[in-house]
Amino acid sequence: MGKVLLEKLLRSCPEINHIYVLTRTKRGQCPQDRMTNLLEGPLYTALAENSPDVLKKISAIAGDVTEPNLGISPSDEEMIINNVSVIFHVAATVKFDDVMSNAIKMNVKGTYSIIDLARKIKKEGSLSSLVHVSTAYSHCYSSSIMEEKFYPMPKSRWNSSSPDELIELFEQAKAEGRDNTKDILGIFPNTYIFTKAWAEKVVQENATDLPVVIMRPSIVVASVKEPIPGWVDNLNGPTGIIAAAGVGLMQTIYAKRDKKADLIPVDISCNLLCALAWKVGTETPSDIQKPREIQIYNNTSGSTVPVKWGEVEKAMGYLLKYPLENMLWYPYGCTKSLWMSPMKNHKIQDRVCRVLFHWFPAYFIDTVSYIARIKSTSRIKLVNRMEKAMHVLEYFSTREWDWDTKNVESLHTEISLGDQSRYNFSLKNLKWEDYFESTMQGTRQFAMKSDPKTIEACRKRLTKFYVAHQVMKLIYWFMFYLLVSRIWAHVFPQ
């Protein structure tokens, strides 16, 4: 989301003087080198060709959202305070199963630090707006209908604990060989939802004197239009599962086909972020000391253009039309047959299929590779990683919620016709079938790094995998026949 938002601001807001991006050192790369590499990517190609000078408006600020004061140097902080008027707080760990201490540091303590920085900017009189990105699932445990309002944190013995106290508690248990994550989570499904709900509480209790607004997106997926249709560059959430199916690794998943999959294209979310920055910036109370009523906007699709997991399953078939370069086996998980479909409505059915089509092939291939001394990536490790991703997604793929979006709909009527086009966050004209096809192409090109020029070669390879898959199915059936024959002969001897 941060990458698409940055491109959108540069392309659509020419009067912006400068954009400072908090960037940490990663894998030995300094912040400025990371930013340079980012701007050389395909997402910014059009900007680099048409408006190269606009890229000079970006500066990477060395820091880390998990560190005190965001890890920003005093000189950089002074520069930010004197020059910044709008803050987009997009930074967060989006790993559903991230370690509790890491999730608290980034999502909760980071929010405290952002509020402190915003208050310093406000003191200088230049703060126009602070847009905090939460998640539509922040309180998904409470009911199936989610309104655009704050919800209280569920009662727990940890309610009075500070972030540091809870981190210390977790780390102490870890040192003793215990994992108290589930105890701390209570009714929350994972550390991501828990810490994002806590971050909303931080905003509610500590930022009423600031021009702040909260946006709650649902499952953020590939872009529908801007700047490139189908653009996605990570394997989080559904994209990772789709990619696993495309390489032939994922053959079965537990998901309720008749449940709504509330997906939101990333460019729609970023357009709404821009509109919200304008909205809250024009509604700062005249009495700046008066506590503000912080508005919340649910950025979801289910109430406008609902789509079900069964439609997502059908859309995975586009990966047979646009096969990936790095296929490991025939992508059976992208097909739908009379006897078996990749999505299973029943947990037991899915678990049996996982043993047969995930674990058995993984152990078989790794064993053969070991005996033949063939060096290759461990299929068991790949399946284990995939299974973990599938496990955390199950909570969302087997339930559904309805979100109230009155605030978003009202905002759309407030902005001008020109801005409705420039910052379009309406979903009324979205056609999921067309969107899914461009998403599969984008997943292939940007997330899986498959060259568009290799599509024909990949289709030929897909045919070979199909033949091999059919042979393997015959072997499976023959082995099953032998097993049944032996059991029959044992039970009913002649």
Q: What CATH number did the domain enclosing 174 receive?
A: 3.40.50.720
Residue 138 structural domain: 2-247+259-310+401-447
pLDDT reported for residue 287: 46
Residues 435 and 465 in one domain: no
Please tell me what DSSP assigns to residue 29: B
- Whole-prediction pTM: 0.90
Q: Is 254 part of any domain?
A: no
User: Looking at the domain assignment, is residue 395 inside a domain?
Assistant: no
Nearest to 216 by CA among 155, 170, 149, 282: 149
Radius of gyration of the chain (CA): 25
Residues 212 and 164 in one domain: yes
- Say if residue 374 is in the same domain as residue 299: no
SS3 322: coil
Tokens matching residue 82? 């004197």
Same domain, 72 and 168: yes
Compute the distance between CA of residue 313 and CA of residue 316 in angstroms, rounded to an integer: 5
* φ/ψ (deg, to 5) at 451: -70, 130
Confirm whether 442 is domain-assigned. yes
Handedness of CA 406, 411, 414, 415 (dihedral sign): negative
Q: Are residues 231 and 360 in the same domain?
A: no
155 and 54 together in one domain: yes
pLDDT at 494: 67
Indicate if 165 and 237 belong to the same structural domain. Answer: yes
Examine the domain organization and report whether 231 and 319 are in the same domain: no
Q: Which residues of the chain have pLDDT under 50?
A: 287, 338
Q: In terms of domains, do 180 and 327 share one?
A: no
Q: Are 323 and 459 in contact (CB under 8 A)?
A: yes
Would 253 be classed as within a structural domain?
Answer: no
Residue 340, pLDDT score: 64
* 326 and 353 belong to one structural domain: yes
Q: Is residue 105 part of a domain?
A: yes
Residue 225 counted as domain residue: yes
Q: Are residues 302 and 324 in the same domain?
A: no
Residue 252, in any domain of the structure: no
Q: What is the pLDDT of residues 357-389, one digit of tens each?
A: 889 888 988 898 888 888 878 889 989 988 888
Which spans in 133-291 are helix H? 163-175, 181-185, 191-206, 237-246, 266-281
Phi, psi of 131, rounded to the nearest 5 degrees: -105, 115
Domains: count for the chain: 2
- Would you say 197 and 152 are in contact if contact means Cβ atoms under 8 Å apart? no
Same domain, 209 and 72: yes
Specify if 396 maps to a domain.
no
How many Cβ atoms sit within 10 Å of the Cβ of residue 53? 7
